[in-house]
Amino acid sequence: MNSVESCRRAGEMLARAEAVVVLTGAGISTESGIPDFRSPGGLWDRYDPTKLTFDRFCASAETRRDYWRLATETYPLLTRAEPNPAHLAVAAIEASGRLLKLVTQNIDGLHQRAGNSEQRTVEIHGSSLKAHCIDCGRPHDRAELHRRLLAGEIAVPECEACGGRVKPSTISFGQAMPEKETAEAFDAARDCDLMIVVGSSLQVYPAAALPDEAVRSGASLVIVNREPTPKDENATVIVRGSAAETMSLILKHAGDISAGFKAAADPMLR
């Protein structure tokens, strides 16, 4: 099946669906200019992730300095990025009333900026746009922390309430996955009738197990990714290609969903 036919079929499936779960990965955000840190030339070529584990962050002031140096470097990339048509397509699915949950592996907040609600969005790997104290749980203003770090007022943020360790609200290597968000994601996978995976290699667990859960529970599976994934054999429809272009074509064939999406995305597609 060629990509045009695959997009048509996926769009028709979306139009018929009543409870959709969308799972997104780095591939949807790279098209907004956010680099995949795991790819060659990415940040993990310059920062050794094995030295920035959660246990080291907790135990070592030096690791906390390195961690915040990395966070200060990446924060402007995230705040400058703009949602692309793939993000707008997911927002249009929610606006149509069909979205059960959006589960994103991304930490950039672009889905919310595109129009997805906090209530329907599960940030399974956390958010780099937020920060909190890992000792008392108090949230801290990420933008203000960034300003103070750049100004040299602080090198490592400390909690204003308890003097504890403040960390970006992302899941680090070796850190336990958030129980509430993980449970929400798997509950949604069991309850959906269609799962659409966009821009995920489906190699990072537990998110990579969500398509298996959906298919086991009787849902259809659409995978949109530039490269093959380990879950392709379970997919009803596979489309190889750009997230923005592919999701635009899928929405074109998705009946009443397409009208709202077209109005929002047209300026980007010209």
DSSP assignments along the chain, one per residue: --HHHHHHHHHHHHHH-SSEEEEE-HHHHGGGT---TTSTTSGGGTS-GGGS-HHHHHH-HHHHHHHHHHHHHHHHHHHH----HHHHHHHHHHHTT-EEEEEE---S-HHHHHT--TTTEEETTEEEEEEEETTT--EE-HHHHHHHHHTTS-SS-B-TTTS-BEEEEEPPTTPPPPHHHHHHHHHHHHH-SEEEEES--S-STTGGGHHHHHHHTT-EEEEE-SS--TTGGG-SEEE-S-HHHHHHHHHHTSTTHHHHHHHHHHHHH-
Q: Residues near 152 by Cβ (< 8 Å), separated by ≥ 6? A: none
**Which residue is catalytic, options 87, 111, 125, 146?**
125
Structure tokens at 156: 């490592």
- For residues 82 and 102, the answer to whether their CB atoms sit within 8 Å is no
Please give the Cα distance from 226 to 210 (Å, whole number).
Answer: 19
Active site residue 125: yes
Structure tokens at 31: 């098209």
Q: What count of other Cβ atoms lies within 10 Å of the Cβ of residue 3?
A: 15
Residues marked as catalytic = 125
